[in-house]
Amino acid sequence: MGRSAVVLLPRLQRILAEVGENIRLARLRRHLTADLVANRASISRATLWAVERGSPSVSIGTYLAVLNALRLEEDFLLLAKDDILGRKLQDIGLITPKRAPKHKKGDENEP
């Protein structure tokens, strides 16, 4: 059976297209040919072009392989690194006691 097409919201497609364009510009700044980068990433030149267009049907592993071929694999670690919303939601759920617990007499941690 064939793959089903990946459908993204237009805003998400624009983000992916921008990622692809950034990858293409990084390749051009390094004066690397599409053939060379595709060979280093162990993909076809057509797949590299799909990455550079921001195609949603290309696996995330392929995007990472291309970044590795360009020596930009560390940039992948920046994805979702600072989860501001998640931290705020976590902070809302934190319950803090009103006061510190009392120490019992004979407690070895007592000053």
In this predicted model, what pLDDT tens digit does every residue of 25-50 receive, in sequence order? 999 999 999 999 999 999 999 999 99
Say what the pLDDT of residue 90 is.
83
The CATH superfamily holding the domain 10-93 is lambda repressor-like DNA-binding domains (1.10.260.40)
**Who has greater pLDDT, 110 or 54?**
54
d(CA 26, CA 13): 20
d(CA 54, CA 24): 10
Say what the pLDDT of residue 109 is.
60
Average pLDDT over residues 80-105: 77
Say what the pLDDT of residue 78 is.
87
Say what the pLDDT of residue 65 is.
97
Closest CA to 52 of 74, 67, 42: 67
d(CA 18, CA 101): 53
Asked if pLDDT for residue 1 goes beyond 70, the answer is: no
